[in-house]
Structure 1
């Protein structure tokens, strides 16, 4: 195998930089300082117990075993500031699973400038049951439906969030989203991927996410940060500060994360080791179309990441061709990658991050991340 470091070039556009973020502790390795709940924990082992804990406003919930959300999917929506200071975590041992269940923190109905705050999600596996998803129909597979809006984790108008040691796979929208002026989020030591069974599903139904139909098997998307250009760091008021470190993206990924925020990526493993090719049962290409997508209004700092066999490892993907973005990188490893990848500008001498961190060498990232990412 040939290892090489991509040389950097100056690639950025003029972007307004907003006021300095208050100094933050380094406990999460990123922007979040979330501590979650200090309440006594309640342990749940069934869907009924989970729903009861939610309905009774329990702020510290421990998931034990595999909880199944049913064939029509279950979304728990945390939609008010009464849900500030929440911890939802898996029991130790790594066996906590939420199947067909989405946790959605959404402060969209709150007064302007108010977000849900201080959320910790850790040590849980989220995944969708392929057969159940294949069997959805009607409004569930139309825009805004339960299927087309099914993620593992969704954060809207939510601030100070730490997602740690989670695994998310086989959900029918993105695996995770951070949007609608959410801010100060750390995602660490988590695994995002799809299975070969998902990629090769047959029957492979056609769904309508945003006005056009496409096959379900091609919806293999990792994450979105910022819903659109107006919900971006630059055009949305300087929100969406996100740190992603020591995460494992892949295998069997089609594309993303799509980033419109102020995002610091370090020591992530982008894994396209399976290198899907050819077409699926609907005739759609199986090939990965990108790894990182640098979106409208974003400021991206990328360092010490390891890209393995990824296609178009860094792709500029703007909502409109004139939209602003900035992309900086250093010390990334690109091993056996394909396609055209954008090169970032050199890091500035003074870093803009309000936290301290010590990145690992990129050469060690695949081993560190594969050993440590996901529930424990």
Structure 2
């Protein structure tokens, strides 16, 4: 064997080792059900709304947000609605404080054939927030079901398979801050922060809006996220999809309630922070107290472990769509510090949960310290 053959064999062996390492990394890097890697296309950097719109219109699969992009005084939505959006990354450029203001990213495969979903999505390192004064001024259809205000979230995943949502900040939006629905599957939500500002909590004027057929005040709409839109969109009733991991996220402060979980959801290493403990009534006379921190919904399997609950009210709450709906819930090794209300009891054991990925749990005071230090954008 001459030296050229030896060199080729060395290169081939190194390549095999490298590819093996890449495969292992892709399978474990999210710490959850997703192994999404997003786009491998050349990135395009966008710095204003026109550039973002042009990147979207030209089907750019790797979009980098540089600086703050403002949609104007009414929320707008970018809807990624077909299979051409498979393998997409949208991320913020570190060092520019990347922010999408009054802008929602909706990945929505609901119009695809029933056997298809939009796949391999990564969104990371972005702040999503609304402008309170803009939202207060909305009127007419914008504040009724289907309107730009009542449907305004940061990210919405609808029939998406394999997505990784990581190191983002979500605050001050008028629907849930984030949602996973319509039989989405294999989603990891990691190192994000979900919260509402004191300005939102105490907003005045505090207009009445109509989300789902009834009217109530905007300031009370301080909801975190949902996994599964309803009981039929749950793990048990929806074809055993909705596998979701939530780890190392910072929930709070000033959250009224949720996450509401109807999927097969593994919740670990999260910090549920109700340190502000809102009390009393807001300017419209409605209670500001938190009603729950984490809600176990119809058709769900929820494993909650090694989380810290600080001053939360009803830390785990069973909240079903219909009395008697089935669910499985197991909590273990959580820390409860100065909590109020009640805490739901487990009705399942460890053998009923199967977690197919490697993960590492935090313990004790490390949970709060590590999560607050490493959640949200890198900026």
Fold conserved between structures, TM > 0.5: yes
CA drift of 1:158 comes to 0.6
Structure 2 residue 223 is matched with structure 1 residue 224 = no
CA drift of 1:351 comes to 5.0
> Could you tell me how far apart the structure 2 residues matched to 1:336 and 1:306 are?
11
CA drift of 1:94 comes to 6.1
Q: Which residue of 1 aligns with 2:362?
A: 360
- Contact 1:184–1:240, Cα closer than 8 Å, also in 2: yes
Q: Which residue of 1 aligns with 2:189?
A: 187
* Greater share of helix: 2
- Contact 2:190–2:247, Cα closer than 8 Å, also in 1: yes
Q: Which residue of 2 aligns with 1:325?
A: 327
- Contact 1:267–1:362, Cα closer than 8 Å, also in 2: no
Q: Which residue of 2 aligns with 1:263?
A: 265
CA drift of 1:363 comes to 2.6
> What is the RMSD computed on CA atoms of the aligned residues?
1.1
CA drift of 1:348 comes to 1.6
Q: Which residue of 2 aligns with 1:275?
A: 277
CA drift of 1:318 comes to 0.2
Q: Which moved more, 1:342-351 or 1:207-216?
A: 342-351
TM-score normalised per structure 2: 0.92
- Deviating beyond 4 angstroms after TM superposition, the runs of 4 or more aligned structure 1 residues are none
Q: Secondary structure of 1:302's match?
A: strand
- Unaligned regions of 5+ residues in structure 2, if any? 1-25
Q: Could you say which structure has the greater relative contact order, defined with CA pairs below 8 angstroms and 6 or more residues apart?
A: 1
Shift in alpha-carbon separation, 1:292–1:176, aligned structure 2, 3 A: same
Q: Which residue of 1 aligns with 2:4?
A: none
> Could you tell me how far apart the structure 2 residues matched to 1:45 and 1:345 are?
50
Q: Which residue of 2 aligns with 1:32?
A: 34
Correspondence for 1:239 among 234, 238, 241: 241
Q: Which residue of 1 aligns with 2:167?
A: 165
Q: Which residue of 2 aligns with 1:89?
A: 91
> Could you tell me how far apart the structure 1 residues matched to 2:300 and 2:347 are?
14
Pairing 1:69-108 to 2, within 5 Å after superposition = 69-93=71-95, 95-108=97-110
Q: Which residue of 2 aligns with 1:143?
A: 145
CA drift of 1:279 comes to 0.2
Correspondence for 2:205 among 186, 203, 206: 203
CA drift of 1:346 comes to 6.4
- Unaligned regions of 5+ residues in structure 1, if any? 1-23
> Could you tell me how far apart the structure 2 residues matched to 1:245 and 1:223 are?
14
Larger Rg: 1 or 2?
Answer: 2
> Could you tell me how far apart the structure 1 residues matched to 2:209 and 2:48 are?
30
CA drift of 1:345 comes to 4.5
> Could you tell me how far apart the structure 1 residues matched to 2:334 and 2:365 are?
9
> Could you tell me how far apart the structure 1 residues matched to 2:98 and 2:205 are?
29
- Contact 1:194–1:220, Cα closer than 8 Å, also in 2: yes
CA drift of 1:84 comes to 0.2
Deviation sequence 1:233-277 (CA, Å, 0-9, x none):
000100100000000000000000000000000000000000000
Q: Which moved more, 1:125-134 or 1:359-368?
A: 359-368
Structure 2 residue 135 is matched with structure 1 residue 133 = yes
Structure 2 residue 360 is matched with structure 1 residue 372 = no
Deviation sequence 1:100-128 (CA, Å, 0-9, x none):
00000000000011000000000000000
Q: Secondary structure of 2:240's match?
A: coil
> Could you tell me how far apart the structure 1 residues matched to 2:364 and 2:33 are?
21
Q: Which residue of 2 aligns with 1:285?
A: 287
CA drift of 1:360 comes to 1.1
Q: Secondary structure of 1:344's match?
A: coil
